[in-house]
Amino acid sequence: MIESDIAKSSALRFVILIGVVSLFADMTYEGARSITGPYLALLGASGTIVGVVAGFGELIGYGLRLVSGYVSDRTGRYWSITFFGYLMNMLAVPLLALAGSWQLAAILIIAERAGKAIRNPPRDAMLSHATKEMGRGWGFGLHEALDQIGAVLGPLIVTAVLYFKGSYRTGFAVLLIPALLALSVLLVTRLFYPRPRDLEAVLPDLETKDFPQKFWIYLAAASLIGAGYVDFPLIAYHFEKAFVVSDDWIPVFYAVAMGVDALPHLYLAIYLTESAFPF
């Protein structure tokens, strides 16, 4: 019983550390995403270009996960791939402050999405080992709650920068702080947990079989939803061009959207905490 409690405690610390990494990471790239549309407009991009850049970035951001997940499993180098992805994901954001053209900014925006695609599969695989001991729902609910808190704070930080007469470039530059914090906490987590798979007492036996028909129906439906989805950078672009709201209010709209998304995760984490630890 004591060994089981120690294992759960260690797993919980790992999930919290990775959750803090995600909190700072989301502060960085979600803060950036709240103003990339208007920033591209400032650099001379058209609405079509903004839509293509945002859409292609999302395509890379999801499609590349298949490659990253496969390579992670084949090589077993989960930490190395995770670090590489986070470096690309985090450093692309503050570099936007130095972009002198919309073409360079577009490359950095797509690079940020690619970095997220690279690091997510190996990170989630490592998380899965920890959540086995503490409960899948509770573990991923806690992580997702911390993740979404960062997604709300990031745009609000950019809002504060713009409100006090800062520029978009200043907003991107300020996001270097949470980016470095995310990388620092990730390094600390790597030092304390070099082999996250050890957090799982008994590794499951995996059995490979074909996906059922309902999976492909679900995938087709999700693909159609994604094909018709309008990314916020394009919405923010038109906010800017049509003078719907002032510059410093555009990130607030994004923060509200992230806040609505965060509420279910916070509730889930609290509910599952009470279920797992009824005291």
Per-residue pLDDT of the chain in tens (279 residues, 90 and over written 9) = 455 555 778 888 999 999 999 999 999 999 999 999 999 999 999 999 999 999 899 889 988 999 999 999 999 999 999 999 999 999 999 999 999 999 999 999 999 999 999 999 999 999 988 887 677 777 777 888 899 899 999 999 999 999 998 899 999 999 999 999 999 999 999 999 998 888 776 655 656 677 788 888 887 888 787 777 777 787 777 777 777 777 778 888 888 888 877 676 666 655 655 455 443
CATH number of the domain where residue 76 is located: 1.20.1250.20
- Would you state the torsion angle of the CA atoms of residues 104, 110, 112, 115, taken in this order, to the nearest 10 degrees? -130
pTM reported for the whole predicted model: 0.86
How many domains in the chain?
1
SS3 for 233-264, per residue?
HHHHHHHHHCCCCCHHHHHHHHHHHHHHHHHH
pLDDT of residue 203: 56
pLDDT of residue 277: 46
In a domain, 142, yes or no: yes
Nearest to 90 by CA among 132, 27, 144, 168: 27
In a domain, 78, yes or no: yes
User: How far is Cα 264 from Cα 148, in angstroms, rounded to an integer?
Assistant: 10
Reduced to 3 states, what is the DSSP secondary structure of residue 43?
coil
pLDDT of residue 265: 61
pLDDT of residue 223: 77
Domain extent, residue 97, equals 2-200+212-276
70, burial (CB in 10 Å: exposed 0-12, middle 13-18, buried 19+): exposed
User: How far is Cα 139 from Cα 147, in angstroms, rounded to an integer?
Assistant: 12
In a domain, 168, yes or no: yes
In a domain, 205, yes or no: no
In a domain, 248, yes or no: yes
In a domain, 55, yes or no: yes
pLDDT of residue 182: 98
Q: Are 126 and 215 in contact (CB under 8 A)?
A: no
